[in-house]
Amino acid sequence: MNHTFDSTVLREYDIRGIIGETLGAEDARAIGRGFATLLRRAGGHKVAVGYDGRVSSPMLESALIEGLTGSGCDVVRIGMGATPMLYFAEASADDVDGGIQITGSHNPANYNGFKMVFMGRPFFGEDILTIGRLAEAGDWLDGTGTVETRDVMDAYIDRMLQGLDGIDSDTLSALRIGWDAGNGAAGPALEQLAGRLPGEHHLLYTDVDGNFPNHHPDPTVPANLEDLQRLVAEKNLDFGVAFDGDGDRIGAIDGEGRVIWGDQLLMIYAEDLLSRRPGATVIADVKASRALFEHVAAHGGQPVMWKTGHSLIKSKMKETQAPLAGEMSGHVFFADEYYGYDDALYAAVRLMAASARLGKSVTQLRGEMPALVNTPEMRFQVDESRKFAAIDEVKTRLAGTDAQVDGTDGVRVTTADGWWLLRASNTQDVLVARAESDSQGGLDRLVAQIDEQLQLSGLERGEQAGH
């Protein structure tokens, strides 16, 4: 028996597709067979399985477990919850060797997919392609695994609350916070967490609904934060926190309703961390603001710019022993007093902790940041066969100039006006551009440089591509 996946489904960081079109029960079964085969060959035998609130998730969970047990792995079902709860189940249990979360993350409601962790490390890139090759060849081990159900919610909440250990309780009790779960999978954990946190908490949309009736659960899109901004304004709250569909990305606003972007959150976390761990390494992706890297250095830390992608960042953290990392997209990774994975609920707890320890409100911390002008993330369609080639052409052209170029992930060019970035997405047929300057005039000149390089490669920004 063998199986062939749709060509669009096996992606760089996860497996994702459209239910009933490119992804179904047979795919989930094949993923289970392949993952179990690889895990057993590596000496493991037990897999934790969780799923998000999408309508198709229970169907995929059932088929995935059939595949895992059919290739001889035992399964620990942790039920519906946020992706970081699955990561917690894998990281905290001595008897679990791998984990799979069924989730479509922030994709539209008709999508779903799988995020995986393997023997304590991210499972991505070549690992995912190997699942495809095993399926194609039918090269699966046979066996009969067992299935047990384990409730990890209470232990997960207990563990997150440790992020507030040692902090003055009066300071924490004075906090008033708004929360928006966006009808995503983090809702039930948020309800329990908020019930046990000090302070006053106002919650939106904690009912899990895979149709996302109130707004799409992607906190990097400003329109999705409008309900939270209204709540914070009406109740005069200190700040607000929002989550994506599976709870591994955080969005935030301050008491004045200003968005605190992923790199700005990292500035706050870094300042708190470096006050306790001088000289620590802090990693951010190539889309992050110059202000972040300068802020880390100014507080005695070692800033590292790295490739975009949660699996790539996690791997770099392990390599450099960095206690903190983050991305513009709202993935924040704490290895400082935590496990090193991206957990938006825990990141929210650490925002409370940072504000209390630094003795400044979140609004004050946001207000102290440099007033830079930047573009949103600009994404535009480019043929798959051209996207990496175009970046190479830009690199070649710039090599003959005095431009200051960082080629970590695409091309990041620093000029007197600021910086601009052009990189190829690993997961879609798009190029991503971003620019940042001290002034609007400077920003216009940077964007003109991006346009010039695209034109020289026979491309144009044209239509913006969606996520």
The residue whose two tokens read 């970590």 is 408
Summarize the chain as % helix, strand, coil (round to 5): 40, 25, 40
> What is the H or E stretch that residue 100 is in?
strand 98-102
Q: Are 274 and 243 in contact, with CB atoms under 8 Å apart?
A: no
Count Cβ neighbours within 10 Å for each residue of 220-242 and write b for 16 or more, e otherwise: beeebbebbbebbeeeebbbbbb
Which residues fall within 8 angstroms of residue 455, CB to CB, at 6 or more apart? none
Using alpha carbons, select from 220, 219, 209 the residue that is nearest to residue 184: 209
Which residue's entry shows tokens 């897999």? 47
- Rounded Cα distance, 344 and 346, in Å: 5
Backbone angles phi, psi at 77, to 5 degrees: -85, 120
Single out the residue of 453, 350, 368 nearest to residue 411, CA to CA: 453
DSSP annotation of 423 reads E
Instruction: Find all residues with CB under 8 Å of 322, minimum gap 6, and list them.
Output: 280, 281, 282, 283, 304, 316, 335
Question: The tokens of 388 are what?
Answer: 């990496």
105 catalytic residue (yes or no): yes
Q: Kindly state the DSSP code that residue 23 receives in the 8-state scheme.
A: B
Is residue 173 within 8 Å of 198, Cβ to Cβ? yes
Cβ-based neighbour number of residue 158 at 10 Å: 10
| Distance in angstroms (rounded) separating the CA atoms of residues 394 and 307 | 18
Instruction: Please state the length of the chain.
Output: 467
Q: Which of 105, 289, 329, 425 is catalytic?
A: 105
- The span from the CA of 445 to the CA of 448, in Å, is 5
Please compute Rg for the chain using Cα positions.
22
Contact 300, 258 (CB under 8 A): no
CB atoms inside a 10 Å sphere around CB 440:
9
Q: What's the CA gap between 44 and 90, in Å, rounded?
A: 12
Q: What are the tokens at 55?
A: 């309508």
Q: How far is the first Cα of the chain from the last one, in angstroms, to the nearest whole number?
A: 35
- Catalytic residues, which ones? 105
